[in-house]
Amino acid sequence: QVQLKESGPGLVQPSQTLSLTCTVSGFSLTSYNVHWVRQPPGKGLEWMGRMRYNGDTSYNSALKSRLSISRDTSKNQVFLKMNSLQTDDTGTYYCTRDRNYGSYGTFAYWGQGTLVTVSS
Partner 1 sequence: DIQMTQSPSFLSASVGDRVTINCKASQNINRYLNWYQQKLGEAPKLLIYNANSLQTGIPSRFSGSGSGTDFTLSINRVESEDFSVYYCQQSYSLPYTFGAGTKLELK
- Is the CB of 14 or the CB of 26 nearer to partner 1? 26
Q: In the complex, what is the shortest distance from the CB of residue 43 to partner 1, in angstroms, rounded to a whole number?
A: 8
Nearest CB to partner 1, comparing residues 5 and 76: 5
Q: How far is the CB of 63 from partner 1 (least distance, A)?
A: 9
What DSSP character marks residue 85?
Answer: -
Cβ atoms of 60 and 47 within 8 Å: the answer is yes
> Which helix (DSSP H) or strand (DSSP E) does residue 48 occupy?
strand 46-51
**Contact residues for partner 1, defined by CB under 8 A:** 35, 44-47, 58, 60-62, 94, 96, 99, 103-108, 110-113
For partner 1, the closer CB: 77 or 114: 114
